[in-house]
């Protein structure tokens, strides 16, 4: 594999630059016509999403001309994006503005993130906070860390395991199938607390930093989850899909539970997904 620490740093720098140049100047300054719906009232796209993705794509294409680059917004115009992703030697998946609904509402809770795939395997991740100016990074086999605006690093580590009744975390229940959504919502009192920030990037950062115990998602688009999945794994966590199978970036259904360890995963599965 030819994607090392230097290349990951360059990738993160591209995300940071796009966030500073295209996202933050538009924050809390969007006009009505600069916000558009996609599939529903919480599935939005703004001029900032599109401009940041274009800037990131252009910069990555210059630095890594051999790579396949799949952005969230461009994927709608690229029917064969999944095939291209699985067949590429080097690929990037990009979410230029994760938490668009928050951004459009003027809430400072959004992220610019992406993952690096080498022959279909996630090997690098970056989740940048354009407001706090820190970036969570992970590289396969090298751990996960948080880097501040001065370049100072702090290693990330997941929370210590506790019984399910003492666990806290995030549950993105709105994308679950109807019967499963009803079941999970009824079972939420079996854990200590849960929330949904409408921003997977920040939820994964909390998880990898040990500030909560779990995240649960159903819709698994790779730009939303490949970065956070690697961040969590390199911080020492365990994850699996609802059926117990491993996470795979080319699979977009089947749900995902991330927890401190396998025993915690089993406890959460029993507490929230069983009658």
Q: Who contacts 23 (Cβ-Cβ below 8 Å, separation ≥6)?
A: 48, 52, 96, 97, 103, 110, 112, 130
> Is the pLDDT assigned to residue 40 strictly greater than 70?
no
Q: What is the pLDDT of residues 62-89, one digit of tens each?
A: 999 999 999 998 998 888 998 999 999 9
Q: What is the pLDDT of residues 100-158, one digit of tens each?
A: 999 999 999 999 999 999 999 999 999 999 999 999 999 999 999 999 999 999 999 99
- Look up the CATH number of the domain holding residue 144: 3.30.540.10
Mean pLDDT of 179-196: 96
Domain match, 27 and 113 both? yes
> Is the pLDDT assigned to residue 43 strictly greater than 80?
no
Domain match, 142 and 238 both? no
Domain match, 111 and 23 both? yes
Global confidence as pTM: 0.96
pLDDT for res 124: 98
Domain match, 118 and 178 both? no
Question: What is the CA angle 103-106-108, rounded to 5?
Answer: 70
Domain match, 27 and 111 both? yes
Number of folded domains that form the chain: 2
Domain match, 149 and 224 both? no
> What mean pLDDT value characterizes the chain?
95
Out of 155, 185, 208, a domain closes at: 155
- Look up the CATH number of the domain holding residue 263: 3.40.190.80
Residue among 105, 127, 275 at smallest CA distance from 206: 127
Domain match, 47 and 118 both? yes
**Running DSSP on this structure, what letter comes out for residue 160?**
P
pLDDT for res 125: 98
Domain match, 111 and 168 both? no
For 127, the token pair is 């989740």
Out of 155, 172, 197, a domain closes at: 155
Out of 108, 133, 155, a domain closes at: 155
Q: How far apart are CA 124 and CA 109, in angstroms?
A: 23
Contact between 242 and 257 under an 8 Å Cβ cutoff? The reply is yes
Domain containing residue 83? 5-155
Q: How far apart are CA 168 and CA 37, in angstroms?
A: 32
Q: How far apart are CA 165 and CA 109, in angstroms?
A: 28
> Is the pLDDT assigned to residue 42 strictly greater than 70?
no
Domain match, 140 and 243 both? no
Contact between 217 and 200 under an 8 Å Cβ cutoff? The reply is yes
Residue among 213, 202, 214, 216 at smallest CA distance from 173: 216
β-strand partners of 134: 129
Domain match, 134 and 31 both? yes
pLDDT for res 79: 85
Domain match, 206 and 147 both? no
pLDDT for res 23: 98
Domain match, 14 and 142 both? yes
Residue among 175, 134, 138 at smallest CA distance from 155: 138
């Amino acid at each position: 594999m030819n994607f090392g620490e230097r290349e990951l740093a360059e990738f993160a720098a591209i995300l940071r630059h796009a966030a500073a140049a295209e996202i933050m100047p538009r924050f809390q300054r969007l006009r009505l016509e600069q916000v558009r719906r996609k599939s529903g009232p919480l599935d939005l796209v703004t001029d900032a999403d599109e401009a940041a993705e274009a800037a990131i794509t252009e910069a990555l294409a210059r630095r890594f001309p051999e790579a396949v680059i799949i952005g969230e917004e461009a994927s709608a115009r690229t029917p064969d994006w999944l095939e291209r992703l699985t067949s590429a030697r080097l690929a990037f998946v990009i979410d230029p503005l994760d938490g668009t609904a928050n951004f459009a509402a003027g809430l400072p809770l959004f992220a610019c993130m992406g993952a690096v795939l080498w022959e279909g395997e996630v090997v690098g991740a970056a989740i940048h906070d354009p407001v706090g100016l820190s970036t969570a990074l992970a590289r396969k086999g090298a751990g996960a860390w948080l880097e501040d605006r001065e370049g100072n690093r702090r290693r990330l580590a997941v929370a210590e395991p506790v019984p399910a009744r003492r666990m806290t975390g995030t549950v993105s229940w709105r994308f679950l199938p109807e019967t499963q959504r009803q079941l999970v919502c009824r079972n939420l009192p079996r854990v200590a607390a849960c929330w949904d920030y409408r921003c997977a990037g920040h939820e994964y950062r909390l998880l990898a930093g040990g500030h909560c115990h779990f995240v649960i998602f159903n819709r698994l688009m790779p730009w939303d989850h490949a970065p956070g999945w690697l961040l969590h794994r390199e911080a020492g966590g365990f994850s699996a899909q609802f059926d117990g199978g491993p996470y795979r970036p080319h699979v977009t259904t089947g749900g995902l539970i991330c927890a401190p360890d396998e025993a915690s995963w089993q406890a959460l599965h029993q507490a929230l997904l069983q009658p």
